Amino acid sequence: MKHFLESFCLLGAFLHVCTQHTVPASEFQLEGDYLIGGLFHIHDDTGSVYHERPEALDCTTFLWLILFQMIRFSVEQVNNSTNLLPNVSLGYDIFDHCSDTQNFPGVLKLISANGSIQPWSDKQSVLSKVIAVVGPFTSTQSLTVAPLLMVNLVPMVNYATSTSVFSNKAKYPSFLRTLPSNLNMIDVIVRILQKFNWRWVAFLNSDDDYGNDGLNLFTQRIKDTEICLPYSKGLSDSTNYTQTFKQMEAKQINVIIVFALENNVEPLIESAMLLNVTNKVWIAGDAWALNKKLPKMKGIKNIGTVLGVAEPVVTIPGFSDFLHSSKAQLHCKYAEQDTFCNQKCNCSCMNPEDIFAADPSYSFAIYSAIYAIAHALHNTLRCGADKCDSNITVYPYILNIIYEKCLFVCLSQDDLTAPTKVKTHYQRSFVFILFFSGVFWHLLLYIKHLFCVGFSPQSVATLQKCLFFFFFYLFYVLNMCLVQVPTSLCSPECPAGYIKKRNGIYECCFDCEICANGTYVNITESPYTCLKCKDIEWSEEGSTSCNLRAVEYISATDIVATLVFVAACAFVGMTLAMSVLFSVNYNTPVVRSAGGPMCFLILGCLSLSNLSVFFHFGKPTVPLCTLRYLPFLLFYTICLACFVVRSFQIVCIFKIAAKIPKLHSWWVKYNGQWLVIVVAFVIQAIFLVIGYSCKPPSPYNETSWYPDKIILSCDISLQASTASVILLLSICTLCFIFSYMGKNLPKNYNEAKAITFCLLLLILTWIIFATECMLYRGKYIQLLSALAVLSSLYSFLFWYFLPKCFIILFQPHKNTQQYFQGLIQNYTKTISQ
């Protein structure tokens, strides 16, 4: 630190020399009670020349003057005013800050008092008269100068440095600015891109602190957006523009953001014109949006459309008069004075018209800066209507605090001295407020309108409102000129119902793929995946949403259900009628050969099996599903068991009784027929109870058969009912074997034949049903199942019982003991032959 201070003192001594040479009446200086330091980029640095010895900087290439004249004007206006800082004179000390890194003498002069610099100076020390510094221009210049000014917290009010680094208050506590930071500029640029759906853009920045900051902010800002940045380049004097344009052309980029200083932009646009780059959209940063040279160039209209974001152009009343009068006074007097400290300018030899022809971008920012400082000083000195408290010592750091506190309050007060036109402008907006004006060049159309005036960074709502008008105006202009809004996309948007398949590293580049049926794509949720529809929904190929599936089942009131119910009731009616007929003719041989008492059991069981049919229709529920096949399986088992017994007995009487008499007597003794039936019933009942309790049937939604429908059905586990079905099948097989054995018995004992036929019908019915099940799973499968059940029941009724009824009713001669005996004798004869 000691070393550091020593160097400061050395520099101070050197400055002392510098000060002595200064001629007080220069345009660069104005005496006053308080001075405002100014660092202005009047000339450009030609000093990238290498030199071996320390040399004074030669600022020769003339750059621009308007800003320099603006600070002179503003200070004078404040000094002239009677309301603001009454009886206090404000002066300035301005240096031509023409190099990024080599202009320290001027800065040191500003912060030195009586020729020396005293960091952390306390009250006893001599204070510099400079209370605030305005400038410098570029971001790099500000970065090199800022640390020196921050030591004593001298307010550094900047009018052109938008680099976001300076928003860090811990690092740059006394840095203040009167223009929006890059963050706001980039935000507006991104909003423009989003508004016009430009997603495939290039970013060209000047290769310095300003441009690189812009690039960083831009890449951060677009992270969560759909904008891709396939090309970015830092522009410098050595940039090969041919190559740059070739690379952009190769990537088919149509929108180019140019976030660069004018000295980089001018060669860029010129080479674009030379290289016949056409139909691009150029988005200009604030540093060149208001450039006055480019729009006047021949062939500029060929390069496409230029949109810009810039501060507003405010015409400050009196400025023009000031320029004319100062030219009249000065007559090129100071051309040779004090080259050492950069306070030399051939300025007065410039025409005021030339000055006005320059880019007006930052003049209002300077004007605001001077007024803001003046107000802060006004408050620090506790000025009244006509005088200020002269006893108060003004420390720069106090001014710094007041400045920040006062910014949004002071400048909106009514007692401003500024002329009315500018005053209203102040009242509508504050100094740190964002000003943007859209600059739109097309066919040399140059629009100078203020779009967004009067909102502070705090109020996002106003910003949005403002942007709305901005875009409204932009669209209006585009339509006026019949310009089609250009597009800049890597891949065109996918049609609805298609998903994006990323192609390469950029999100913007993708192929489109249609979503299969049963899936959909929701762009807001994820444009990259086809989402599956829920089970209760369906969708066609290429859908953006799912539709609810239609729910289908045969209700109990359906016409087919009613017909089946009628058939089932008719069946019950017929079994009842037959039972009555059989009981009336109980003792006739036909009834006895049909089974006697067993007939009633069979008829009863058939009727009970019939119950199943009633549970086939309606919305499936657990009881409905349980009862759908349970009565049929249980009671049909009994029926079949009866037929087994019946056919066994028939065969027995004629064949087994003779061959194995022991078995016959055993059968008769233990009532074998009833035993078999009961055993079959019990086993089947056990199987069903176990099966149904292991895996109870439940309602089930069939979704795979139709894509757009849900068929309500029952999930009846095949495994759980395997045992009962096998039992039924084995009884059936047994029955078939016995009845087949007895197929050539006497004609009146042809029950066996009837049973065989019925069994064949039964097997055929269920084979057909099983086939249908495999081929079709729509709602009518319930109807088919009910028909299969009915058919199984009706086949016994029609082919076993109905012929007997027919004989009883219409052929009573065949229903006699003699007729039966005769037939049996005939049979025994044929057997013995």
Ligand X SMILES: *[C@@H]1O[C@H](CO)[C@@H](O)[C@H](O)[C@H]1NC(C)=O
Q: Which of 420, 484, 524, 719 binds ligand X (CB under 6 A)?
A: 524
Least distance (Å) from ligand X to the CB of residue 544? 6
CB atoms within 10 A of CB 666: 11
Token pair 């249908």 in the structure block, residue = 772
Q: Which of 518, 596, 604, 803 binds ligand X (CB under 6 A)?
A: 518
Stretch that binds ligand X, among 76-84, 224-232, 748-756, 825-833 (CB under 6 A): 76-84
Least distance (Å) from ligand X to the CB of residue 377? 13
Q: Decide if residue 725 touches ligand X (CB under 6 A).
A: no
Least distance (Å) from ligand X to the CB of residue 97? 19
> Is residue 501 within 8 Å of residue 513, measured between CB atoms?
yes
User: CA torsion angle for 639, 641, 646, 647 (degrees, to 10)?
Assistant: 110
Write the single-letter amino acid at 686: I
CB atoms within 10 A of CB 107: 23
Q: Decide if residue 236 touches ligand X (CB under 6 A).
A: no
Least distance (Å) from ligand X to the CB of residue 541? 6
Whether residue 136 is preceded by a cis peptide bond, meaning omega within 30 degrees of 0, is yes
Q: Decide if residue 387 touches ligand X (CB under 6 A).
A: yes
- What is the C-alpha to C-alpha distance for residues 112 and 118, in angstroms, rounded to an integer? 7
Cα separations (Å) of 336 from 21, 26, 58, 59, 339? 12, 11, 13, 13, 7
Q: Decide if residue 52 touches ligand X (CB under 6 A).
A: no
H or E element at residue 30? strand 29-30
Q: Decide if residue 240 touches ligand X (CB under 6 A).
A: yes
Three-state secondary structure call for residue 134: strand
Residue nearest ligand X, Cβ-based: 346
Q: 82 vs 197, which CB is nearer to ligand X?
A: 82
Q: 166 vs 241, which CB is nearer to ligand X?
A: 241
CB atoms within 10 A of CB 80: 12
CB neighbours of 557 closer than 8 A, spacing ≥ 6?
A: none
Nearest Cα to 178, choosing from 310, 369, 318? 369
Q: Decide if residue 386 touches ligand X (CB under 6 A).
A: yes
> Is residue 254 within 8 Å of residue 487, measured between CB atoms?
yes
Q: Which of 46, 225, 276, 771 binds ligand X (CB under 6 A)?
A: 276
Half-sphere exposure for 482 (CA within 13 Å, toward CB): 0
Three-state secondary structure call for residue 389: coil
Q: What secondary structure does DSSP assign to 165-221, as a single string?
A: GGG-TTT-TTEEESS--HHHHHHHHHHHHHHTT--EEEEEEESSHHHHHHHHHHHHH
Cα separations (Å) of 738 from 744, 748, 798, 804? 12, 17, 21, 21
Q: 92 vs 470, which CB is nearer to ligand X?
A: 92
Q: Decide if residue 79 touches ligand X (CB under 6 A).
A: yes
Q: Decide if residue 346 touches ligand X (CB under 6 A).
A: yes
- What is the C-alpha to C-alpha distance for residues 311 and 453, in angstroms, rounded to an integer? 9
Three-state secondary structure call for residue 256: strand
- What is the C-alpha to C-alpha distance for residues 282 and 306, in angstroms, rounded to an integer? 5
> Is residue 204 within 8 Å of residue 268, measured between CB atoms?
yes
Q: Decide if residue 10 touches ligand X (CB under 6 A).
A: no
Token pair 């859209």 in the structure block, residue = 438
Q: Decide if residue 27 touches ligand X (CB under 6 A).
A: no
Q: 523 vs 768, which CB is nearer to ligand X?
A: 523
CB neighbours of 262 closer than 8 A, spacing ≥ 6?
A: 287, 288, 291, 359
Q: 349 vs 622, which CB is nearer to ligand X?
A: 349
Q: 478 vs 711, which CB is nearer to ligand X?
A: 711
Q: Decide if residue 349 touches ligand X (CB under 6 A).
A: yes
Q: Decide if residue 318 touches ligand X (CB under 6 A).
A: yes
Least distance (Å) from ligand X to the CB of residue 391? 4
Three-state secondary structure call for residue 534: coil
Stretch that binds ligand X, among 381-389, 761-769, 775-783, 822-830 (CB under 6 A): 381-389
Nearest Cα to 151, choosing from 126, 134, 129, 174? 174
Q: What secondary structure does DSSP assign to 427-494, as a single string?
A: HHS-TT---BEEEEEETTEE-----B-S--TT-HHHHHHHHHHHHHHHHHHHHHTTPPPP---SSPPP
Q: Map the footprint of ligand X across residues 542-571, applying CB under 6 A.
A: 544-545
Q: Map the footprint of ligand X across residues 643-662, applying CB under 6 A.
A: none
CA-angle at 460, arms to 457 and 461, nearest 5°: 135
Token pair 């344009």 in the structure block, residue = 245
Q: Decide if residue 122 touches ligand X (CB under 6 A).
A: no
Q: Which of 164, 212, 517, 701 binds ligand X (CB under 6 A)?
A: 517
Q: Map the footprint of ligand X across residues 770-799, applying CB under 6 A.
A: none
Q: 275 vs 485, which CB is nearer to ligand X?
A: 275
| Binding residues for ligand X, total number by CB under 6 A | 33
Least distance (Å) from ligand X to the CB of residue 126? 5
> Is residue 604 within 8 Å of residue 537, measured between CB atoms?
no
Least distance (Å) from ligand X to the CB of residue 88? 7
Stretch that binds ligand X, among 77-85, 506-514, 679-687, 778-786 (CB under 6 A): 77-85
Q: 26 vs 77, which CB is nearer to ligand X?
A: 77
Q: Decide if residue 87 touches ligand X (CB under 6 A).
A: yes
Q: Decide if residue 80 touches ligand X (CB under 6 A).
A: yes
Stretch that binds ligand X, among 291-299, 382-390, 547-555, 791-799 (CB under 6 A): 382-390
451 φ, ψ to 5°? -105, -50
Q: Which of 46, 220, 236, 242 binds ligand X (CB under 6 A)?
A: 242
Q: Which of 389, 415, 535, 708 binds ligand X (CB under 6 A)?
A: 389
Least distance (Å) from ligand X to the CB of residue 599? 54
Stretch that binds ligand X, among 73-81, 100-108, 161-169, 781-789 (CB under 6 A): 73-81
Least distance (Å) from ligand X to the CB of residue 530? 12
Least distance (Å) from ligand X to the CB of residue 73? 6
Residue 114, by phi and psi: left (phi above 0), alpha (psi -120 to 50) or beta?
Answer: left
Q: 375 vs 804, which CB is nearer to ligand X?
A: 375
Residues facing residue 96 across a β-bridge: 40
Q: Decide if residue 707 touches ligand X (CB under 6 A).
A: yes
Stretch that binds ligand X, among 459-467, 541-549, 595-603, 668-676 (CB under 6 A): 541-549
Write the single-letter amino acid at 323: L
Q: 275 vs 601, which CB is nearer to ligand X?
A: 275
Q: Decide if residue 267 touches ligand X (CB under 6 A).
A: no
Q: Which of 23, 56, 335, 773 binds ligand X (CB under 6 A)?
A: 335
Q: 59 vs 642, which CB is nearer to ligand X?
A: 59
> Is residue 645 within 8 Å of residue 755, measured between CB atoms?
no
Tokens read off for 458:
């705090």
Stretch that binds ligand X, among 70-78, 651-659, 770-778, 791-799 (CB under 6 A): 70-78
H or E element at residue 605? helix 597-609
Let me know how long the chain is.
833
Least distance (Å) from ligand X to the CB of residue 702? 14
Q: Which of 26, 29, 77, 593 binds ligand X (CB under 6 A)?
A: 77
Q: 89 vs 462, which CB is nearer to ligand X?
A: 89
Least distance (Å) from ligand X to the CB of residue 506? 23
Stretch that binds ligand X, among 74-82, 442-450, 561-569, 674-682 (CB under 6 A): 74-82
User: CA torsion angle for 327, 330, 332, 333 (degrees, to 10)?
Assistant: -170
Residues binding ligand X (CB under 6 A)? 73, 76-77, 79-80, 87, 89, 114-115, 126, 240, 242-243, 275-276, 318, 322, 335, 346, 349, 386-387, 389, 391, 517-518, 522, 524-525, 541, 544-545, 707
